[in-house]
Structure 1
Amino acid sequence: MGEVSEILKVFVGRTNGFDSIEDQLKDFVLESHETNVDKVQEVLNSMRNTLTKRNDALEAMVIALKEETIATARALSTRIEELEGKLALC
């Protein structure tokens, strides 16, 4: 029975070493994951900022185009009225 006890002590001692390596590996993986998450978050933030700027620029362009369209429509309406007036005189 003493031999089994000694073998068990040796075995437990060796598995403790594996447990330590496993803990170190877990810590390494967690740190790597956290670093990757931080980098991905930085990229996403940068992309969001870029897209926000582009969206703002597009909105400004749409507003300008709407204003230009309204002005053109008014000018055309005025011109049509003028031409209708001339046509009525004929």
Structure 2
Amino acid sequence: MAANEEETICRISHPTKPHTLSRRPGKVPPSGCFACDKEEFSPVSYHYYCTTCDVEFHGICHYYPRKITHPYHLQHPFTLTTQYTER
């Protein structure tokens, strides 16, 4: 692992037993992105794979926060959901 590359944790692993994602070459995850459910082009030249969960993420999709709260609407936070479909 390069000195400037931080360890990347699988977003669907349990917080007490986090799984490390492997960085792989290629802009499109072969089985589609677990976070956005798309097999489309990604602007970065790599994607991530969790061998334990057997899921892949676009290079940028795993960075999206699971929940955000807008300061003008604190009572209803936005939650990122994923839809896993058999391919």
TM over 0.5: no
Q: Which has the higher contact order (CA 8 A, sep 6+)?
A: 2
TM-score, structure 2 as length reference: 0.18
Give the helix-richer structure, 1 or 2. 1
TM-score, structure 1 as length reference: 0.17
Give the strand-richer structure, 1 or 2. 2
Bigger radius of gyration: 1
